Amino acid sequence: MIATETKPTVQSAYRGFKDGVWRESIDVRDFIQQNYTPYEGTAEFLSGPTAKTLSVWNTLEKDYLSVERKQRVYDVDTHTPADIDAFKPGYINTDDNVIVGLQTDVPLKRAMMPNGGWRMVETALNEAGKEADPEVRKIFTRYRKTHNDGVFDIYTPRIRAARSSHIITGLPDAYGRGRIIGDYRRVALYGIDHLIAEKKRDKDRYIDQPFSEHWARYREEISEQIKALKKLLTLGHSYGFDLSQPAETAHEAVQWTYLAYLASVKSQDGAAMSFGRLSAFFDIYFERDLNEGTLTEEGAQEIIDALVTKLRIVRFLRTEAYDQIFSGDPYWATWSDAGFGDDGRPMVTRTSFRLLQTLRNLGPAPEPNITIFWNKNLPLGYREFCAAISIETSAIQYESDEHIRSHWGDDAAIACCVSPMKVGKQMQLFGARVNAAKSLLYAINGGRDEVSGKQIVPGYEPIKGDGPLEFEEVWQKYDDMLTWVVGTYVEALNIIHYCHDRYAYEAVEMALHDSEITRTMGCGIAGLSIVADSLSAIRYARVTPIRDETGLVVDYKTEGSYPVYGNDDDRADELAKLVVKTVMDKIRAIKLYRDAIPTQSILTITSNVVYGKATGAFPSGHEAGTPFSPGANPENGRDTHGMLASMFSVGKISYDDALDGISLTNTITPQALGQNKQERVSNLVGILDAGMQEGLYHANINVLNKETLEDAVDHPEQYPNLTVRVSGYAVNFVKLTREQQLDVISRTFHKGA
């Protein structure tokens, strides 16, 4: 398909659409609510892949993906710093003409994005076997200051100490922060000319106010946004499309939207570059074309398959150290779907089914990160189709529609794994996470690091004596220590986001936001289950510290039994809840950059392995140097009363204390779900319904046998597409490091009795 010959007009672009507020101001949500058609049926109408879809996918697999799997990085352009319009158009093969556009001129070829920091780029180049271009190096080390340079100019001694002792790890101080979702739909619905006109009006809205830094930043940022929109126009032209006007057809709506997303992944390498909430939006265009007789179901599926193909091959230049924290080359092209509208209609459309169908038509894959806003009142046909695809592919995650809608409305989407935001109206200042478990050991040791023995935190008294630990004393010291840890952590985040806005501003993503938006500060903690179990052991059993010759507590002797988090036992679960609330209250007490709303997530990505490595032994018996369980999961293997009991425990953590999301990754064997396919489907639907009814926020669902994973460790070549959900996202299992593979295998596999 090629660009339309005549310039579309607003009248023809909006033919058949119901008017509303969306015609007066930029309001994609209103457009969707006025025009979408819920679908209550089953998956029967769906089409398989077309010959063209398979041709493109097979070329990709044969010539690119299989090569990349062998050598980690397919190729890198070492001369051209990335930008929206930096590369010539590229295609996968001659059949690649449905939804087009690549990040660079060749599939999987990665681009440098040095605004985050030059050292990261150069390390990644070297690890990919490439030499840096001296000219580019000179530009980004002599002439152009980076985000990373800015941050380290400002960092305080206590932040440096906390970073080097690994109590805080993975901060976005040398890479793009991500977790910003441009409202890419705006380009399709309004066209860029209109968006630029609106931005120009916004820019001068406060022109009569006296100078202030805030005022100047506002005008400068909008100017940057307008420049980015102009580049997006150029990008469209290079692929033969005129994005200045609204899309006229379903094909154009998808293509326009994708190009807007493409502009963002061409210019930013944020950790998570999520796609938004698109199915109902696209579906309106599909329904119109289907009704007008210009599109068939096969054609509609081909468009979605082509889009998903493109969303599967986004690549960023990353270092191996980065892979430790965000393993498996993820970019979180998270696509949020389903849920309910505020008016009580389900936001499930035929396109919601088409999206899931891509996992059959193209085979399982981790991206896009398909995220279902689950609600027990969604149409049964859809819930069962989700469950069936989960059982086949382990590629879907579920989040509570009720939690998200009640806090963020019915046009919210997930950025990354579990972070909800109103699309185009809200962004997050991403904050990685702090090691809440190690903080407990610091509390006991008075700020001495249990691994190195160094005094990291000054001015704190350790627990003395050789007797059993007293809960009240430990809690008091933990609370004190968290004040220092959280204070240091949030100080670092304020600095980081101040610099990110200055040196690595996300112009095109922010151009697709309202000019005045809500910001949240997405803090996070790691090691929740260990803290809960350790506090429980101290509270309900007898825990005696074991000291080395310098008096440092390096291990614990625990006698007697105690309740364990993850088994729906209030005594332990309330401790987990208390820790989350305590940390949150400390974040709330600190002034945040750009008046962000304080939030936190209980999510670890794959940093549960690095966090564990840098942390000592615990009263719960968690051994020094071993991986934490992911996110808010109970300790691996200790949630012994079934998947639902585990969900009920996690569901007790108050969402109001973790508005950025509470992640639970579940693995269940197929046999434990039922004896046959239909039983498994309806049982999984029931488990999700029941878990979320009891307050659960998030559920990754893996339906796998441990033996399959063990075999894949030894014979990776036989499992190129084995997908597992690790912590708010999915990965190709064979792309994980061996250490991370073993961590996944050591997690709880619910087997029933």
Partner 1 sequence: MTACLQPADESNAVPPVPASLPPRQAEPEPRDFREGRAGFLHSWDMVTAVNGPGTRLTYFLAGCPLRCQYCHNPDTFCQDQAEQVWTEDLIRRVRRYRSSFLLTGGGLTLSGGEPLLQPAFAGRLLHSAHEMGVHTCLDTSGFLGALADDQMLEDIDLVLLDLKAGDEALYHQVTTQTLAPTLAFGQRLADQHKPVWIRFVLVPGLTDRPDNIRAVALRAASWPNVERVDVLPFHQMGRHKWETLDIPYQLADTPEATREQVEQAVAVFRSLGLNCPD
Give catalytic residue positions: 416-417
Any contact of residue 687 with partner 1 (CB under 8 A)? yes
What is the smallest separation between the CB atom of 332 and partner 1, expressed in angstroms?
A: 30
Any contact of residue 571 with partner 1 (CB under 8 A)? yes
Residue from 460, 7, 55 nearest 248 by CA: 7
DSSP sequence for 258-313: HHHHHHHHHH---S----EE-HHHHHHHHHHHHHHTS--HHHHHHHHHHHHHHHT-
- Tokens representing residue 62 in the block: 């044969």
Any contact of residue 163 with partner 1 (CB under 8 A)? no
What is the smallest separation between the CB atom of 580 and partner 1, expressed in angstroms?
A: 11
Any contact of residue 582 with partner 1 (CB under 8 A)? yes
Smaller CB separation from partner 1, 196 or 386: 386
What is the smallest separation between the CB atom of 640 and partner 1, expressed in angstroms?
A: 8
Backbone angles phi, psi at 169, to 5 degrees: -135, 150
Continuous segment of H or E residues that includes residue 414: strand 412-415
21 CB-near residues (< 8 Å, 6+ apart)? 27, 30
What is the smallest separation between the CB atom of 392 and partner 1, expressed in angstroms?
A: 17
Any contact of residue 679 with partner 1 (CB under 8 A)? yes
Any contact of residue 650 with partner 1 (CB under 8 A)? no
Any contact of residue 676 with partner 1 (CB under 8 A)? yes
d(CA 737, CA 608): 13
Backbone angles phi, psi at 689, to 5 degrees: -55, -50
223: amino acid identity, one letter? S
**By the 8 A CB rule, do 522 and 431 touch?**
yes
Smaller CB separation from partner 1, 307 or 530: 530
Any contact of residue 18 with partner 1 (CB under 8 A)? no
Q: What is the 3-state secondary structure (H, E, C) of 619-639?
A: CCCCCCCCCCCCCCCCCCCCC
Any contact of residue 570 with partner 1 (CB under 8 A)? yes
DSSP sequence for 183-235: -THHHHHH-HHHHHHHHHHHHGGGTTSPP-HHHHHHHHHHHHHHHHHHHHHHH
Site string for partner 1, 513-552 (x = CB under 8 A): --------------------------xx------------
CA 249 vs CA 3, 14, 280, 281, 734: distances in Å: 12, 10, 15, 12, 40
Smaller CB separation from partner 1, 34 or 705: 705
- In the list 689, 705, 708, 739, the residue contacting partner 1 (rule: CB under 8 A) is 689
Smaller CB separation from partner 1, 575 or 736: 575
d(CA 148, CA 556): 40
CA 416 to chain centre: 1
d(CA 189, CA 720): 38
279: amino acid identity, one letter? S
What is the smallest separation between the CB atom of 747 and partner 1, expressed in angstroms?
A: 18
Smaller CB separation from partner 1, 108 or 687: 687
Any contact of residue 479 with partner 1 (CB under 8 A)? yes
d(CA 603, CA 702): 17
Smaller CB separation from partner 1, 6 or 675: 675
- In the list 578, 590, 597, 713, the residue contacting partner 1 (rule: CB under 8 A) is 578
Any contact of residue 475 with partner 1 (CB under 8 A)? yes
**By the 8 A CB rule, do 727 and 604 touch?**
yes
Count of residues that interact with partner 1, criterion CB under 8 A: 44
d(CA 546, CA 316): 46
- In the list 298, 320, 472, 710, the residue contacting partner 1 (rule: CB under 8 A) is 472
- In the list 297, 585, 711, 739, the residue contacting partner 1 (rule: CB under 8 A) is 585
Beta-bridge mates of residue 420: 414
Smaller CB separation from partner 1, 621 or 674: 674
- Tokens representing residue 111 in the block: 């681009």
- In the list 141, 693, 708, 746, the residue contacting partner 1 (rule: CB under 8 A) is 693
Smaller CB separation from partner 1, 547 or 571: 571
Any contact of residue 705 with partner 1 (CB under 8 A)? no
What is the smallest separation between the CB atom of 42 and partner 1, expressed in angstroms?
A: 19
**By the 8 A CB rule, do 289 and 349 touch?**
no
Smaller CB separation from partner 1, 9 or 377: 377
What is the smallest separation between the CB atom of 338 and partner 1, expressed in angstroms?
A: 17
Any contact of residue 690 with partner 1 (CB under 8 A)? yes
Any contact of residue 706 with partner 1 (CB under 8 A)? no
What is the smallest separation between the CB atom of 471 and partner 1, expressed in angstroms?
A: 7
336: amino acid identity, one letter? S
**By the 8 A CB rule, do 124 and 269 touch?**
no
Any contact of residue 624 with partner 1 (CB under 8 A)? no
Any contact of residue 409 with partner 1 (CB under 8 A)? no
Site string for partner 1, 655-674 (x = CB under 8 A): -------------x--xxxx
Query: DSSP state, 346?
Result: B
Any contact of residue 682 with partner 1 (CB under 8 A)? yes
- In the list 574, 590, 737, 742, the residue contacting partner 1 (rule: CB under 8 A) is 574
Angle among Cα 603, 659, 601 to the nearest 5 degrees reads 15
**What residues from 371 to 400 belong to the interface with partner 1 (CB under 8 A)?**
376
- In the list 581, 624, 711, 720, the residue contacting partner 1 (rule: CB under 8 A) is 581
d(CA 402, CA 719): 37
154: amino acid identity, one letter? I
The residue to which tokens 């509570």 are assigned: 400
- In the list 348, 644, 696, 701, the residue contacting partner 1 (rule: CB under 8 A) is 644
Any contact of residue 321 with partner 1 (CB under 8 A)? no
Smaller CB separation from partner 1, 4 or 654: 654
- In the list 364, 524, 616, 642, the residue contacting partner 1 (rule: CB under 8 A) is 642
User: 13: helix, coil or strand?
Assistant: helix
**By the 8 A CB rule, do 233 and 243 touch?**
yes
Smaller CB separation from partner 1, 281 or 382: 382
What is the smallest separation between the CB atom of 420 and partner 1, expressed in angstroms?
A: 23
Any contact of residue 471 with partner 1 (CB under 8 A)? yes
Count Cβ neighbours within 10 Å for each residue of 467-479 and write b for 16 or more, e otherwise.
ebbebeebbebbe
The region of 89-97, 301-309, 397-405, 639-647 touching partner 1 under the rule CB under 8 A is 639-647
d(CA 133, CA 608): 35
The region of 265-273, 497-505, 516-524, 570-578 touching partner 1 under the rule CB under 8 A is 570-578
d(CA 611, CA 484): 19
Strands 730-732 and 723-725, how do they pair?
Answer: antiparallel
d(CA 552, CA 447): 10
Smaller CB separation from partner 1, 333 or 643: 643
Any contact of residue 683 with partner 1 (CB under 8 A)? yes
Residues in the site for partner 1, rule: CB under 8 A?
376, 471-472, 475-476, 479, 539-540, 568, 570-571, 574-575, 577-578, 581-582, 585, 589, 640-645, 668, 671-676, 679-680, 682-683, 686-687, 689-690, 693-694, 752-753
